[in-house]
Amino acid sequence: MVDIQKHILAERALAVARRCVASRFAEAAFVYVAGSLMRGDGTAFSDIDLVVVFPSLERAWRESFTEDGFPVEAFVHDEQTLAHYLHADAESGCPVMVTMVATGSIVGPDFDRARIVQARAESMLAAGPKPLAGASYDMLRYHVTDLADDLRGSRPPEEVAAIAAQLYQKLADLILLGRGAWAGRGKWAPRLMRALDAQLAAEFEGAFRLAAGGDAARLLALADRELALHGGRYFEGFRQEAPLEARRLE
């Protein structure tokens, strides 16, 4: 029964998306309809994600609105601006736009062109993220080291919880990207970790639950173990230069 209800909800969402495209984006060449509703794991509060592709635009934009009771997030592009953001996604290690394009249902007249672009996104996903290296890697290791060091020693429970909240995304990125898996933001981080390694995900989630209550011991041990896989704590020798234009004459 639950599966049937989710299927019905997904069909409703796709019908709403088609009407939305016809009324708001009638000149679009093609659109990808994506999100949890289309995957069949959405809720009554989930939104519809649209990646709208026009033949040509002066600039891309993003907008949010409600259509027939559904919240809608529209990411509006032409092929060149979409290619820019797909590449930026892949470089960041967090393929939000790539996933929407790769998994979305196609709406619009230029289906063949939409499939060509979609196939490129599918290939990006299949290839996985680039290996951790360079300045972004150093910065990630430094942030995890710095936040883990803040957990050492005795702190009030509320401070431990606040530090853990900051550490969550950084440590998740190090765990996932460090193992050659895509990273994810927000709710996607635990989902991707469970898909990668259920035991590690359980340890990660348990450590953060304890830290939220003020007990940092397991979280600190987990962070130190992950850092050890990347050469250990990274503090000594860290350097980040400001851009040349970072000055103001008063």
Host H or E run for residue 52: strand 48-54
pLDDT average, residue stretch 23-41: 92
For residue 11, pLDDT over 60 is answered with: yes
Both 15 and 91 in one domain: the answer is: yes
Name the band, by pLDDT with cuts 50, 70 and 90, for residue 69.
confident
Both 101 and 18 in one domain: the answer is: yes
Q: Per-residue pLDDT tens for 163-177?
A: 999 999 999 999 999
Name the band, by pLDDT with cuts 50, 70 and 90, for residue 99.
very high
Query: What pLDDT does residue 212 have?
Result: 96
Q: Per-residue pLDDT tens for 222-237?
A: 999 999 999 999 999 9
Lowest-pLDDT range, 35-44, 124-133, 164-173? Answer: 35-44
Angle between helices 79-92 and 111-127 (to 10 degrees): 10
In a domain, 222, yes or no: yes
Distance CA 199, CA 205 (A): 10
Both 94 and 139 in one domain: the answer is: no
Query: What pLDDT does residue 1 have?
Result: 53
Q: Per-residue pLDDT tens for 207-219?
A: 999 999 999 999 9
Both 71 and 141 in one domain: the answer is: no
In a domain, 249, yes or no: no
In a domain, 216, yes or no: yes
Number of domain units in the chain: 2
In a domain, 240, yes or no: no
Name the band, by pLDDT with cuts 50, 70 and 90, for residue 123.
very high
Query: What pLDDT does residue 64 have?
Result: 97
Q: Which domain holds residue 199?
A: 134-228
Contacts 24+ apart (CB under 8 A), 126-135: 128/180, 128/181, 128/182, 129/90, 129/93, 129/95, 129/177, 129/180, 129/181, 129/182, 129/183, 130/90, 130/91, 130/93, 131/180, 132/177, 132/178, 132/230, 135/240
Which CATH number goes with the domain that contains 9? 3.30.460.10
Both 37 and 123 in one domain: the answer is: yes
Both 174 and 102 in one domain: the answer is: no
Identify the domain boundary among 83, 109, 127.
127
Distance CA 77, CA 95 (A): 17
In a domain, 234, yes or no: no
The residue among 36 and 114 whose pLDDT is bigger is 114
